[in-house]
Structure 1
């Protein structure tokens, strides 16, 4: 998809063998969703079989950069940047067995309707349609009904825990929609060595220091006051414990976007606080950071589940309240809620085992290894179904949501019936070099506006 993506592909592609038993396409709209989608695809592949994984990155504000993809570390056999219409064209041409839609809810719904149009009436001379899978990247703490109904219509809607599976089925059944697609799995990126107790708060000189990690989130909390408060407490903790290493784990660098827009990057705010030498900013793979973590602190990041899975002491902050807007209400009953005052005094939360088990984490290596068995079996059964699969049947249709659905589809240049709108660029046509330069400049200008101009305008409005 242009010279820039040819270079990107040369970095992230892996050799392709002559034959593949399963062809999977993952469509993702951010770095975190690409990670979830690609790892999920690999976990669902039949045992002792090969998988060809084609990656499609949906063009938009959060399209991952080469650095972000490298940090995720998940490789593909092919990688393309596409629009939704281009993805639909690729699916029409390629014999995929499974499609994984790793998108926001509105994107999933648009693509489901577009796919329905592609395979309408079997599509003259068309092969059997692939199995369509979707789900969530992590903790589902907001817009439960909205997000779920936008994902309805996929063959499998993956739930990352027993608790999520119960909630998902209740929503679908409550509106009269088929809940048979809900399939319990687990987060695909859990793993790593179990915590061994670490060096303790007073580490031996020359050894690994006791390490406290604050896992920052792009959108929680969202205002400057609360973010500055958390940073001040982090800096204060580092000053109180000079023998410890304190890490501020960041998801993206200024100018990059991930799943959520970040208007006030922590790395810019912390510069004004004169942090001590034992406080450092780190990027990179979360699993590698957890390898040296003795206490994980966050507001509500999915990193908390990764840490709990490895039995690493984990604190979910209550300083700003336990509120739905922060997402830390999801951890009520976990035993992990704590304040900076408590952590400064040496408190280490002890997780509730029953709560942890319902989240699909820290359930033992064997149980986690089997977490995708049901999904794998369901995909095999669907692929083997005589006569192929029935048409996709999302809950939202022009009849059930005539005032909502057309707008969702139009954002991706699709009409109410899933057909590309008139004037939509040809699906297979590549943009010229000038258009690519303009697109990159526009994306950079958008990110500059979000992170620099918008906060200034907001402050001026508060005067």
Structure 2
């Protein structure tokens, strides 16, 4: 249904974790054309990482409705959403296999429909592994969002390299970048005068994954707190014990810290990353997307090399950034200087300003919504012909038949 025929742009977001709900919901707000009102319905895919109420509150995005569904229940809801209830845009904020399954399932339930929503998908953060696999599983959406100029170039190269249509690739930026730029370590606006210099380590659920490496990082963070008692040293955690996020955390830092004896200036924090960054003077991580949020706000940012610069850690993505350093260097007072050209290619404070980062996506969605004759059927690269030994298994995991029919 064209947006011009409705009072508000109706958008549905299907997400399978807290971080993907955050990406999907914020993307929906960023890509709505012009000053169009937004009606947002959220669908949370039932699974191991379905977000809790606390995690949803932490994301801070309000939806007009929000409910938990299975893949088949979601497809049924999309099939039944017609007339005034029809959606204009559908954002698939899922792992690659989930996107592929939904593309085939939606193609099946919409096969007799003259009009359908614009389907949008993409990545939550830094794309440092399974580039070809993840991209081809997302092929078939009307827009495949790339969070930077570098990603857009890589995405098109993969699609063109296998003979797939690359026109869906659309350069944007991470939708959750924002906040005030870093004003310096001494903040005169703080209510209690000058706040302490604050170091934040952004933990990741699965990087690194061994007890030895995670214990090492925790020990170094605590050692830094002891070396600098005048500083506030924060361990920023993604989830509380018992909660799951995009990646399963086998060895949560909350358990490891129970065996340590941290000083008074060290503590664990949760909450919205933007609020933590408001008081951060030095951001430290292994390879978290939080590094890009920090760089966007011009906060000194370090990507650790202590465990090596390795593809398995994801910190190889930051080669050339100027942010690579070790705890020894940080303890000695080192402050990184990011490379402006590298930062710009990552969609961080890019040329033209962040405000225009979603212009192309908005323009493309607006054009698709009024396309004469409606939109063509969804056409993923993977089909029973191109991937007969791969596709059926992906569909079966979501209870879909090899032709995409919900079982």
Q: TM-score range by the shorter chain?
A: over 0.9
For residues 321 and 20 of structure 1, what CA distance do their matches in structure 2 show?
Answer: 54
Contact 2:148–2:347, Cα closer than 8 Å, also in 1: yes
* Cα distance per residue 1:300-323 (max 9 Å; x no partner): 000000000000000000000000
Shift of 1:244: 0.2
What residue number does 1:387 align with?
373
Q: Secondary structure at the residue paired with 1:24?
A: strand
What residue number does 1:144 align with?
131
Matched, 1:256 2:243: yes
* Cα distance per residue 1:340-372 (max 9 Å; x no partner): 0000000010000000000010237x6200110
What residue number does 1:271 align with?
258
Counterpart pick for 1:115 among 106, 119, 135: 106
Q: Secondary structure at the residue paired with 2:353?
A: helix
What residue number does 1:368 align with?
354
Superposed counterparts of 1:3-402, under 5 Å: 20-94=7-81, 95-120=86-111, 123=112, 126-199=113-186, 207-363=194-350, 367-402=353-388
For residues 112 and 32 of structure 1, what CA distance do their matches in structure 2 show?
Answer: 21
Q: 1:20 to 1:267 in 2, by over 3 A?
A: farther
Contact 1:20–1:52, Cα closer than 8 Å, also in 2: no
What count of residue pairs does the alignment treat as equivalent?
Answer: 395
| Greater per-residue helix proportion | 1
For residues 243 and 183 of structure 1, what CA distance do their matches in structure 2 show?
Answer: 46
Q: Secondary structure at the residue paired with 2:268?
A: strand
Q: TM-score, normalised by structure 2?
A: 0.95
Shift of 1:93: 1.5
For residues 231 and 168 of structure 2, what CA distance do their matches in structure 1 show?
Answer: 47
Q: Secondary structure at the residue paired with 1:228?
A: helix
Structure 1 stretches of at least 4 aligned residues deviating more than 2 Å after TM superposition = none
Contact 1:57–1:63, Cα closer than 8 Å, also in 2: yes
Q: Secondary structure at the residue paired with 1:235?
A: helix
Contact 1:36–1:137, Cα closer than 8 Å, also in 2: yes
Q: Secondary structure at the residue paired with 2:258?
A: helix
Shift of 1:206: 5.8
For residues 48 and 171 of structure 1, what CA distance do their matches in structure 2 show?
Answer: 35
For residues 349 and 249 of structure 1, what CA distance do their matches in structure 2 show?
Answer: 20
For residues 76 and 128 of structure 2, what CA distance do their matches in structure 1 show?
Answer: 34
Moved more, 135-144 or 91-100: 91-100
User: How big is the alpha-carbon RMSD for the aligned residues of Structure 1 and Structure 2?
Assistant: 1.3
What residue number does 1:425 align with?
none
Q: Secondary structure at the residue paired with 1:272?
A: coil
For residues 157 and 369 of structure 2, what CA distance do their matches in structure 1 show?
Answer: 27
Contact 1:25–1:54, Cα closer than 8 Å, also in 2: yes
Shift of 1:127: 4.8
For residues 246 and 43 of structure 2, what CA distance do their matches in structure 1 show?
Answer: 16
Shift of 1:49: 1.2
Superposed counterparts of 1:419-438, under 5 Å: 419-421=405-407
Q: TM-score, normalised by structure 1?
A: 0.84
Contact 2:33–2:365, Cα closer than 8 Å, also in 1: no
Moved more, 131-140 or 45-54: 45-54
For residues 102 and 371 of structure 2, what CA distance do their matches in structure 1 show?
Answer: 23
Contact 1:219–1:261, Cα closer than 8 Å, also in 2: yes
Moved more, 390-399 or 355-364: 355-364
Give 5+ residue unaligned stretches, structure 2.
Answer: 1-5
Give 5+ residue unaligned stretches, structure 1.
Answer: 1-18, 422-463
For residues 344 and 221 of structure 1, what CA distance do their matches in structure 2 show?
Answer: 21
What residue number does 1:450 align with?
none
Contact 1:309–1:363, Cα closer than 8 Å, also in 2: no
* Cα distance per residue 1:26-67 (max 9 Å; x no partner): 000000000000000010011111010000000000000000
